[in-house]
Structures are given as structure tokens and as C-alpha cells.
Amino acid sequence: MKRIPFGTSGQEVSAVALGCMRIAALAPAQVDVLVDAALEEGVDFFDHADIYGGGRCEEVFGDALARRPSLRGRMWIQSKVGIRKDYFDFSKEYILEAVDSSLKRLRTDRLDSLLLHRPDALVEPEEVAEAFTTLEKSGKVRFFGISNQNPAQIELLAKTVPQRLHANQLQLGPAYSPMIDAGLHVNMVDAASVVHDGGILDYCRLKEITIQPWSPFQYGFFKGVFLGSPEYPELNREIDALAKSRRVAPSAIVVAWLLRHPARFQPVVGTADPSHLRELCGATSVELSRPEWYAVWRAAGNTLP
């Protein structure tokens, strides 16, 4: 597995991260097999959030660590905080309380990284700064980041928060690419020209913040997986042809499409199936050419000006 820098932390992480949002219902043995498959493929970065499965996802992962504690040293564990039932909460009190609960469920004494999950309209950067400083000093969290935030929101935090923000997790994949589309339609008046994110892609490149594309196989907002979907015949044709020519699974082409971008994305894949995980890791043997990269983007229904 290729490794990439985690922001400006000086640490290298696996270019593919395993998202653990869908593991709540797995039996213990299934979690073990999934974790083993990930580690064998060199995917040692595991993404969690306090809310996944109502805490159950962290719990089943923590149980796996309790069964084999020696694995902890081989893993980068990330969690997220800030989404509560019916509102978002970046208050100091809640951040501290939620991290303690995550650590307890994960059966570990530290998170390698913590992200603020979704922007809180009532954010007070001073409170975030105090929470992050407490977590850093106690050794409970090593590195920090955000998720679903635009450049102005990040600047607002960065003015007060002393810790560097190393990663920004955002939805991105061949069938959901507004941050790429807008950059190709600058100064046009068509729908693709609308900047939905304040120019987050170029901002993150400038600041060396790692973008972690979430839900790379989905279209819309949790509408479904586009692979094999009749909603995306052209995209599937293009991906299948590339997969055939490179002798990898179509899912590997999707991940290769993200890894080809010079921003050095870290896709967060959410499969709970070890064989799917192994297949998509075939991405690291594929280097898409510039025409191939654009062909996938166009096949998703996008047009160049």
C-alpha cells in the first residue's frame, strides 16, 4: 500500500483508510477477518466516529483490540466528534466528554487523530482551542482535523486553535465531485461552475491539509453505490473497461482515480467485506493517465467547458 503524508504532521499514513461506519452488526470473528485483511493489505488507518452505529462501531472495534491488544501498535485510529441527536456541538465540555467515551469504547488510551465531524453553527473557536489543548496535553489525542468544512470555517478555527488541522474529510468520488467540477468551470454560468465549498480543494492543497474523500463509491447523499447501478451506465462502462485492461476489480479503478489526483487524497472506503477491501486495494498497482482520469470524470456525466 502506498503511503502519504498526514497533513504536515510529519507522519505517513496508508493512502487508503478503512471507514468503520458499517461494522456495527459484524460478529467478532468477522471484525477480526476484516481487520486482518486491512493490515495485510497495508491499510492501517481506521476511521471512526462516536455516532457510528450509536457507538456500536467503536465498541466492536474495541472488542477486537481487547482480543488482540498487540494490534494497537500497528494501527492509526481516528475518530470524530460533534454530531448529536438533532444538533451539532463543538462545545469544550462535549468534545472532552465525547472523546472519553470513544476511548472507552475503543479500549485504547489515545486517538491518533480526532476530527470535528460537521460544522457547528454555534462554534466558539476558543472552546475548541481549550478542548484540543486539554486533549493534546493529556496524550488522549495526537493530531487534529476537521470534516465537511470550507476554507473560511477552517481559517476561523485556525486563528484561535493552536493545533494544526491536518485533515479535512469531505465527500468525493467519481459520482460526486463538486469540488473538482467547479475548478474546471471557473467564470462560466452553468451549474457546474457553482462553488459549493469555498474552493476547498485548492485551499487544502495550499495549506497541505489532507483531504480524506468519504463515500467514494456513493452517488448523491447516501443514495447508493454507483458501481453496477443502472443510474450510471456510461461511468460503469468506462470503469469496467479500465478494470479489464489493468486486470483489477472496478472498485480498484475508482480508488485509483482518487489516488491519481496530485492533492494526495486519502480515500476512506466503507466496505465491511474483506474480499471487497482486498480488491479495491488493487488500486495501488494502477496509475491512470491524464486522458483516462478525465474520461472517468466525463463518463460520470460531467462536461468540459
Ligand X SMILES: NC(=O)c1ccc[n+]([C@@H]2O[C@H](COP(=O)([O-])OP(=O)(O)OC[C@H]3O[C@@H](n4cnc5c(N)ncnc54)[C@H](OP(=O)(O)O)[C@@H]3O)[C@@H](O)[C@H]2O)c1
**Hey, which residues are catalytic here?**
52
Q: Is 30 exposed, middle or buried (0-12, 13-18, 19+ CB in 10 A)?
A: middle
Which residue's CB is nearer to ligand X, number 185 or number 211?
A: 211
Instruction: List helix spans (H) across the chain.
Output: 28-40, 56-67, 92-106, 125-137, 151-160, 178-184, 200-207, 233-246, 250-259, 274-280, 290-299
Work out how close the CB of 237 gets to ligand X at its nearest, in angstroms, rounded to a whole number: 16
Instruction: Map residue 113 onto helix, strand or coil.
Output: strand
Instruction: Return the residue nearest ligand X (CB atom).
Output: 270
Which residue's CB is nearer to ligand X, number 35 or number 185?
A: 35
Work out how close the CB of 304 gets to ligand X at its nearest, in angstroms, rounded to a whole number: 25
Nearest-10 crossing angle of helices 56-67, 92-106: 40
Work out how close the CB of 189 gets to ligand X at its nearest, in angstroms, rounded to a whole number: 30
**134 Cβ neighbours under 8 A, 6+ residues apart:** 92, 96
Which residue's CB is nearer to ligand X, number 147 or number 177?
A: 147
Question: Cell 441527536, residue?
Answer: 85
Which residue's CB is nearer to ligand X, number 88 or number 293?
A: 88
For ligand X, the binding residues (CB under 6 A) are 19-22, 47, 147-148, 169, 214-218, 225, 227, 251, 268-273, 276, 280
Return d(Cα 98, Cα 292) in angstroms, integer.
Answer: 44
Rg (CA), the chain: 19
Work out how close the CB of 271 gets to ligand X at its nearest, in angstroms, rounded to a whole number: 3
Work out how close the CB of 303 gets to ligand X at its nearest, in angstroms, rounded to a whole number: 24
Which residue's CB is nearer to ligand X, number 70 or number 221?
A: 221
- From the list 68, 54, 65, the residue with the least C-alpha distance to 25 is 54
* Contact in structure between 13 and 38 (CB atoms under 8 Å): no
Work out how close the CB of 280 gets to ligand X at its nearest, in angstroms, rounded to a whole number: 5
Work out how close the CB of 92 gets to ligand X at its nearest, in angstroms, rounded to a whole number: 21
Which residue's CB is nearer to ligand X, number 80 or number 185?
A: 80
Which residue's CB is nearer to ligand X, number 151 or number 174?
A: 174
- From the list 294, 289, 283, the residue with the least C-alpha distance to 16 is 283
Beta bridge pairs of residue 111: 141
- If phi > 0 it is left, if psi is from -120 to 50 it is alpha, else beta; for residue 304 that is beta
How much of the chain is in helix, strand and coil states, percent to nearest 5? Answer: 45, 20, 35
Query: What is the Cα 171 distance to its own chain's centre?
Result: 8
